[in-house]
Structure 1
Amino acid sequence: MTDGEEVTCRPLRTQALWVFVGLGAAGAVVAAGRLAYAGVWVDWWVGGGLSAVVVGVASLHGATLRVSADAYGVHCGSRLRRRRSVPWHDIADLRVHIQYGRYGEEYVRVGMLLRDGRTRRLPLPVSGSGADRPDFDATLDALRALHRRHGEPESDHLAVISRHTAGRGVAVPLVLCVLLLAGAGLAAWLVPVVGATKEAWTSAVPCAAGTPSAERGECLTTLDAVIERTEAGRGKQAGGLYFAGDRPLDRLTVSQEGAKGFRAGDRVELTLWRGQVRVVAGEHHVWREHFTSADSVAVVAALLALAAGWPGARLLVHRRGRRLADDEVLPSVLPFLGVLVATALWLVPLCYLHPTGLPASAGPLAWAAAGTAGTSGLLVLAWRATRVRTPGQDASGGAEPQESAGEDVFLAARFLESTDYNPNRFGTHIVLGDGPPAIVPHPGPGR
């Protein structure tokens, strides 16, 4: 709702939210009653009631959310969150932010660029379809009119920030890159540990008669047992073997195939190593514990390190485009993804064949050297292909060229909707010249 001096935004659809609020209140009553009756927190009724309370509280916040703007600034709050205000003189500009859902759907929101460089996104208004887009545009126009009347906007241009522009955030790719690199480092640290464990298991021999009990963990000990019952498990759950008299243990976790291979009453021989059952041998079936090999862990480490290159490439391209306007389109990271794929073609097999390090032979060393040289060359090409050029620069990165008669001019543009002449919003620039205007997905020939 808008008028001349005030803009007010409330959620459009609140019926479902109020239903969840009621369920949350009912859950609070159920949890309190069950807690008073049973006196324990670990209970299905208590847990379900508390979960409903959490959902109800979140729904109450969403149902009572209110964003307003007047002559003093922009205000946001709800019944569960105190009102926060930002005066107009602290707002440098109003922008449009495009967010993306899990299945590619787009949500358009309003963002405030503050004088100190920070950005705050307003929870309302929001547009998720073409039906409510006119209301969103009208509210945005009213907010910008109030900003011009009572504040000092830095520009009359409406910047549209998407995942392809220089103004997008880098928190998500930064966190993802750090997590993937941490996982790669952990996997690389586990390579020698896993390799030594499997080698020790492979070389283990049965314990001699006079072996002390303290040293029996490194040799093989056999025990006889009787299976009381089996549990195959459902779905992706592991199976289990139960032994009569709980000897030498109550339950042994095995694979589903291993559990199906035994029957109740089967006499089996158990092989123990390092205090755990590693082999169950019966008359018709034998189950052996699987030991992860060092080569598979090395491959996982290499894949995680290569996967970290994708968010790393996004960070690099964003860093190189720091001088661009926030709504300028950044170069694609596809050239760097090509480098990562080419690197995986030689690095992953090398890690699989030599997980603990390269031997002194000439073959693996030449393989690694050739792969490194190829990756370096592709990296240079990707660096040049993703070079950020400011408007007016030529393909060689020189100064602004002189426009000649009849030469096409490429102007950067942002298309908010798909049209017949620009399907799927592929275009990034408008071409102006002797002919009719055209739309292209690049800033000019050779760029």
Structure 2
Amino acid sequence: MPEAPDMTCRPLISRPGRLAAGSGAVVGAWAFLTVVLHAERWGKWFVLWMTVGLTVVLIAVLLLLWATAQVRADAYGVHSRMMLRRRSVPWSEIADLHIWLQRGRHGDIRRVVLVLRDGRKLRLPLPQTAKQDDPAFDSEVAELRALHSRYGTPESTRLPVVSYRTAGRRRRWLLVLCVLLLATAGGAALSVPSADAENRAWEAAVPCAAGTPAAARGECLTTVPAVITRTDPERGKEPSWLYFADDRPVRRVSVSYEGAEGFAAGDRVEVTFWRGGIRVVAGERHVWREHMAPAGDVAVFAAGLALGAAYPGALLLMRRRGRRLADDEVLPSALPFAGALAGTALWLLPLCYLHPTTLFSSRTQITWWAAGSLVTLGLFTWAWRATRIRTPGETGAVQTPPVQGEVFLSARFLDHTDYNPNGFGTHIVLGDGPPAVVPHGGPGRFAAKPIPVERLTAGTVRRARGDEETISRSWHIAELDDAGTPVRLAAAPADLTRILRELGLAHREPSR
């Protein structure tokens, strides 16, 4: 094997660009420190100039981190360099190279990942690209693979692509999100009794009698007259305010936007105190009451958070079920579990709203729980079966009826061929004529292109991979040979078995 040349990958930025980034960081830091040290001189412009200086520093530092990145590969291994970190990995420790697809606003970003023999994965800062077709990126990846083949022992002869749909993507943040949602739900559930007790105490509160001691006035209603001097209504998240004359009984009180709009300067109102806070401001034209969350609302909020925490848990469960799959094999969708959670919410949330503190206090609630739990159990059983990982061997023995009349099956050839130019086909029609590719679901063979069955030879049937993003997660792929040209046919497992049988192609399971 000829010796592979060394490879060096740098960002597309010149030496003057790196110098400008470094100068910007220094100048921005100097400006930021100057503003901080002379805050009194800058006066009201202090915050503005401090923000501008800090922003310049952050942008320049990020640009400098990117500008100083470098990846070099030679006979020893792969060497990556950042401004604050250097790392070298010998080829003997590298088991494989993967392409890492990271979702971005304007498309997927492709990066290279080193898969080490101890299971760890190291993402390289370079090369990377956001283009679907980038010859420079493909060339650099090819050079890395050539060096790996020359000086190392790759575990795979192909280049796996790992995306957010595949088994190799680890999502640790899902566990963090699940725990945070559960903790918040638990805190909200613990506050339900106190919210219910506070609402009951407010409803039972009566005006304070004459001579009531000051220490006991918190549990009764104290009403004092006041005059509004001005209102300050604010939309959005900003609070609205009512201001009182002579700061009596207080200088101002925060109200809703509608509450501030309902009053005007000069209005005489009565302000009601309860438990040390203003609860009611009543005038001739408008009455504002402080919103007190009912116990049912708090219980619904807690139950909703608990159900929301279950979906990240379902995603983690799917990744646990797919732990034996290759890193680039696509996992089934977790949407059936989302449907099961939605069905659970239909009976659980009304129960929590109507009986927040008496969930098991009567036969009606117990019956509600029992019936709802059976529904949830059935939904999750269906979701578990719907998301099971189907291997090609499971569908090989599926018995399908013979084709009678024209049958349109949703299937796609993933490669450009003379019978599938530019990937125009969305269905394959069987029966009443030769099998053909059509761009519609029927009826009729409009724009049909016959499949040259005599040229095709069957290969393996496998699950979808990370670089096959345009097809459903549950579809399988048949790798065929078209007179020496490899082509891929994708369809649902049962439909794919039926199509291959009608084409007269036998398939074998992929080797692992």
Q: TM-score w.r.t. structure 1 length? A: 0.87
3-state DSSP of counterpart to 2:38? helix
Matches for 1:201-280 after TM superposition, within 5 Å: 201-280=202-281
Per-residue CA deviations over 1:371-410 (Å, capped at 9, x if unaligned) read 101111222222222223455345899xxxxxxxx99963
Q: What is the match of residue 382 of structure 2?
A: 381
Amino acid at match of 1:199: R
Amino acid at match of 2:131: S
Deviation of 1:279 (Å): 0.8
Say whether residues 1:410 and 2:461 are aligned partners: yes
Q: What is the percent sequence identity of the aligned residues?
A: 52
CA distance in 1 between counterparts of 2:115 and 2:141 reads 14
3-state DSSP of counterpart to 2:249? coil
Say whether residues 1:99 and 2:102 are aligned partners: yes
Structure 1: unaligned runs, 5 residues or longer: 398-405, 419-423
CA distance in 2 between counterparts of 1:213 and 1:388 reads 69
Deviation of 1:46 (Å): 2.7
CA distance in 2 between counterparts of 1:335 and 1:129 reads 33
The verdict on how the C-alpha distance between 1:389 and 1:359 changes in structure 2, with shifts beyond 3 A counting, is closer
The verdict on how the C-alpha distance between 1:337 and 1:24 changes in structure 2, with shifts beyond 3 A counting, is same
Amino acid at match of 2:11: P
Deviation of 1:17 (Å): 8.6
3-state DSSP of counterpart to 1:431? strand
The verdict on how the C-alpha distance between 1:286 and 1:396 changes in structure 2, with shifts beyond 3 A counting, is farther
3-state DSSP of counterpart to 2:323? coil
Moved more, 288-297 or 175-184: 175-184
3-state DSSP of counterpart to 1:146? helix
Amino acid at match of 1:84: R
Deviation of 1:231 (Å): 0.7
CA distance in 2 between counterparts of 1:40 and 1:215 reads 52
Q: What is the match of residue 73 of structure 2?
A: 69
Moved more, 51-60 or 223-232: 51-60
Deviation of 1:444 (Å): 4.0
Amino acid at match of 1:246: D
CA distance in 2 between counterparts of 1:300 and 1:254 reads 23
Amino acid at match of 1:225: A
The verdict on how the C-alpha distance between 1:81 and 1:409 changes in structure 2, with shifts beyond 3 A counting, is closer
Deviation of 1:161 (Å): 0.9
The verdict on how the C-alpha distance between 1:407 and 1:4 changes in structure 2, with shifts beyond 3 A counting, is closer
Task: Report if the CA contact (8 A) 1:18-1:63 is conserved.
Answer: no
CA distance in 1 between counterparts of 2:357 and 2:278 reads 28
Amino acid at match of 2:490: V
3-state DSSP of counterpart to 2:60? helix
Rg (Cα) greater in structure: 2
Task: Report if the CA contact (8 A) 1:204-1:220 is conserved.
Answer: yes
Matches for 1:308-327 after TM superposition, within 5 Å: 308-327=309-328
Amino acid at match of 2:153: E
Task: Report if the CA contact (8 A) 1:416-1:425 is conserved.
Answer: no
Task: Report if the CA contact (8 A) 2:329-2:466 is conserved.
Answer: no
Task: Report if the CA contact (8 A) 2:113-2:121 is conserved.
Answer: yes
Q: What is the match of residue 7 of structure 1?
A: 7
Matches for 1:274-423 after TM superposition, within 5 Å: 274-393=275-394, 410-414=461-465, 416=467
Per-residue CA deviations over 1:310-347 (Å, capped at 9, x if unaligned) read 11111111111111111122222122122111111111
Note the aligned Cα RMSD (angstroms).
Answer: 3.1
Task: Report if the CA contact (8 A) 2:162-2:466 is conserved.
Answer: no
CA distance in 1 between counterparts of 2:153 and 2:38 reads 62
CA distance in 2 between counterparts of 1:187 and 1:29 reads 47
Amino acid at match of 1:5: P
Task: Report if the CA contact (8 A) 1:411-1:431 is conserved.
Answer: yes
Moved more, 62-71 or 269-278: 62-71
CA distance in 2 between counterparts of 1:413 and 1:360 reads 51
CA distance in 2 between counterparts of 1:145 and 1:227 reads 80
Deviation of 1:54 (Å): 2.2
CA distance in 2 between counterparts of 1:283 and 1:304 reads 41
CA distance in 1 between counterparts of 2:299 and 2:78 reads 54
CA distance in 2 between counterparts of 1:326 and 1:417 reads 14
CA distance in 2 between counterparts of 1:396 and 1:371 reads 38
CA distance in 1 between counterparts of 2:397 and 2:218 reads 68
Deviation of 1:189 (Å): 1.4
Moved more, 376-385 or 44-53: 44-53
Task: Report if the CA contact (8 A) 2:244-2:251 is conserved.
Answer: yes
Task: Identify the match of residue 83 of structure 1 among 79, 82, 86.
Answer: 86
Per-residue CA deviations over 1:49-95 (Å, capped at 9, x if unaligned) read 223312221221112221221222212223x3132222222211111
The verdict on how the C-alpha distance between 1:212 and 1:189 changes in structure 2, with shifts beyond 3 A counting, is same
3-state DSSP of counterpart to 2:291? coil
Per-residue CA deviations over 1:152-180 (Å, capped at 9, x if unaligned) read 22232322111121111121221221122
Amino acid at match of 2:116: L
CA distance in 1 between counterparts of 2:459 and 2:394 reads 14
CA distance in 2 between counterparts of 1:110 and 1:178 reads 31
The verdict on how the C-alpha distance between 1:253 and 1:151 changes in structure 2, with shifts beyond 3 A counting, is same
Say whether residues 1:138 and 2:148 are aligned partners: no
CA distance in 1 between counterparts of 2:459 and 2:365 reads 53
Amino acid at match of 2:357: T
The verdict on how the C-alpha distance between 1:311 and 1:396 changes in structure 2, with shifts beyond 3 A counting, is farther
The verdict on how the C-alpha distance between 1:344 and 1:234 changes in structure 2, with shifts beyond 3 A counting, is closer
Deviation of 1:19 (Å): 7.0
